[in-house]
């Protein structure tokens, strides 16, 4: 699940994947791209909405 989501982010140029094959075990690093910064305001707005509606979202109803 996580790997498929990371692949989608990579395909859409939102993260850059780097493989360090010389390491044991192999290390894979994902870093946000400059292009991903275009989502900054949208993500901030979603975070604010979550804070404003935290009580309703986390209730059992």
What is the spatial distance between Cα 44 and Cα 32, in angstroms, rounded to a whole number? 16
What is the model's pLDDT at position 53? 93
Which tens digits make up the pLDDT trace of 4-49?
A: 999 999 999 999 999 999 999 999 999 999 999 999 999 999 999 9
Question: Whole-model pTM?
Answer: 0.73
Length of the chain: 61
Q: Are 19 and 10 in contact (CB under 8 A)?
A: no
What is the spatial distance between Cα 7 and Cα 34, in angstroms, rounded to a whole number? 17
Q: pLDDT band for 56, please (50, 70, 90 cuts).
A: confident
What is the spatial distance between Cα 26 and Cα 44, in angstroms, rounded to a whole number? 34
According to CATH, the topology of domain 2-58 is Arc Repressor Mutant, subunit A (1.10.10)
- Comparing CA positions, the residue from 56, 60, 8, 2 lying closest to residue 36 is 8
């Amino acid at each position: 699940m996580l790997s498929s989501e990371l692949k989608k982010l990579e395909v859409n140029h939102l993260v850059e994947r780097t493989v360090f094959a010389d390491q044991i075990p192999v290390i894979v690093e994902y870093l946000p791209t400059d292009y991903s910064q275009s989502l900054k305001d949208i993500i901030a707005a979603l975070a604010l909405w979550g804070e404003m509606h935290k009580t309703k979202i986390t209730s059992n109803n």
